[in-house]
Structure 1
Amino acid sequence: MSTGFAPIESAQEFAVLIGVITSRQTEELANEYLDELEFLAETSGAETKKKFLQKIDRPNPKTYIGSGKIKEIKEYIDANGVDIAIFDDELSPSQLRNIEKEFEIKVLDRNNLILDIFASRARTSHAKTQVELAQYQYLLPRLTGLWTHLDRTKGGIGMRGPGETQIETDRRIIKEKISLLQEKLKKIDKQMSVQRGNRGQLVRSALVGYTNVGKSTIMNLLSKSDVFAENKLFATLDTTVRKVVIDNLPFLMSDTVGFIRKLPHQLIESFKSTLDEVREADILIHVVDISHPSFEDQYTVVNETIAEIDKSVADKPMIVIFNKVDAYNPKPADIGYHPDGKDFALDALKKTWMAKLNDTDCLFISAQENINIDELKALLYKEAKAIFQVRYPYHNFLY
């Protein structure tokens, strides 16, 4: 049975992106979301041809956006060979169906696009199972959209019953599939829990952060390993664990899946097990891309998502690392003045509000350009040693 998903094809496809301006979402914020949606589309293999925004009081229950904007976008689609229309917000099954009839091309919403990217990035059995579970959970309430060949235009005696029967059959099959996947995940989680237990009592650290902030690059730098790193969203889906040794003090470091704004609830649920590494970590290392124009929002999104997963995680020791300082273009609000170009001193950053964030340890680095890495190692050593001394008080003389 088909899952009903419309993934981005391997060949180059052209997309239009559609967002809305509301009382809760300003034009500036809507444009930021569309920029991120463009990056998501690019990650999935599509090239964005044009972005559309409409100011509305509330979404149209039939087509999400107004009829005039639908007509405008349809004319652009027909004139420019567009293959996909991607909405920045979640569409209801009926909205999706109605828009597809109007546009006569593939229509996705942000959730469907993110799920498609996760499906293409999953490599291990664990990640594939988690993504498949999220896809089926997303699909279940949208089943009626798969049976357009039995809609009212072809209705009549003898048609309504079989359609409903087929939908109910598929609904039962999907529920059974969800149950089987959940059981499979429980078994995998139990195996991974045993693996974590076999690591002994080494101090554990976990890299957390928004997607594409440089967590894997930091992991490679500190552990001298070769974790896959790419300038694409969600390059890492599976949690990777490596041993790091600083001045003869060994500890473990985990690289976890990145977060994103408007992350589908199904993915948060199915990937909770992946973040057991975060729950069991002794130290959290929150990596922030300081060069991103919305890094403050990204910082907040990560903290809120972690709290949603497990509120107790917020009580763990945390180091905040502002990465990519080599690409940072400061705003007056950040440092109080415009430095000459981008060649500013790290000392200036250490006097900003960012350096005093929540009274945690904060560092400014560039993993790519190897800037301030010695200070990062020194801080990690200090934090790991403090935990090690409590855990093994009779081994203090070694360090």
Structure 2
Amino acid sequence: MERQALHFLVAAAMLGGIGHAQAQSPITVYSNDFETLNPGSPNCTPKGIGEGGNQVGGTFSTDFSTTENPISQILTADRICTKTAAPDSVYSDPDNPANKYAGGLLTNTIEGTLFSHLESISMVFDPQEKPTLNLSMQWSISNLDDGFIFDYWPTQPTTAYVHARYFIIPSGATFRLENDPGKPARVFINDSQASPFVTTDTPITRTSFAPADKFVLDWRTQNDSLDLAANGFTPTDTVGVVIHVSNENPAAPIYMAFDNLEVTATDEPATPGAPNITLGMAATSITTEQGAAFSGQVTNPGNATEVMLVIRNNNNDIVASTSAQIASDGRYSEQIAPLPAGSYQVTASLGSLTRTANFTVTAVNVPNPGAPENAAPVPSLSGHALALLGALMAAAAFMRRKQVKIRMH
């Protein structure tokens, strides 16, 4: 009896453990490799982007949105066609030879640039009452082949960023986007502008930035883990995500391909993402009368409370250093005193993470303090004018001599 009771207890413990493991296992709430088009989706064109491309507003949402999992877009999110879907396409995916399609987002917010805009996509997920939501998505820095003269391939190695804003949507509420030219899309829940409960910024780079690789997809993965329970989520709520991209250099555009989205929900606690830091400048060309201004965003800072900023000149000498406090929303900003004319590099550090940016300082022409204020410049004559003046003076002298001779007679 004791042995039977022991076997029963062991079996019960094992079953309990299995049941607990099953409760902890994640469930897939959304998965899309963007290979299955909606009926009526246009064919690929020789240029690679879904028919019409960004010239007529893009086709991504109409190609892949469903009633159960709606996809919205702001401006012209594209469907990219690889050589597998269209042999004359310029896009190739060496890591996934069977891959036919991917999405594409452009950010080009340089003031005054033709077709300047910031593209976004949004999706909604049901966590099925789980307290944690995990999102995984692949991204590649790429180039937009739009049939025009524009080239969005980086001229030097760069880091792009995927910005994901997450929103809690109450049961029965509407969720929509509105374009905000040159800025991330505005989000409305029940027609009231909403703020995200969390924002993630994922850095994306690639192996090669050679011009020959501008249409070769080179994937990196975005992984977000969200603690819904800690943010007031209720069992009937859903989660909306709005995504756009940016270049680490605010003055440069970026085009990025995306693919293979998977969203899971689980009872396991959210896994904090890796720390990250961005660095930007209000202006990269300033004068000796201006102080350089730096700003950026920190995600998952851990115990860090400040970002270190070190400025070096062309000789790699440190000319200034300071620290910027990290605000509650992860942002930081700092402005330093004016520097002498020259070229400089600033390094922002968060632990072992660093970001750099280059800027130049030009001298301002300072008026001579001994010169009268608003003194008018002394006019000068050119060589031809001086010769003509000399000829006129000689003629005048000749006429005077002639008049004197006449009076003497």
TM-score, length of structure 1 as denominator length: 0.24
Q: Where is the strand percentage greater, Structure 1 or Structure 2?
A: 2
Higher relative contact order (CA 8 A, sep 6+): 2
Q: Where is the helix percentage greater, Structure 1 or Structure 2?
A: 1
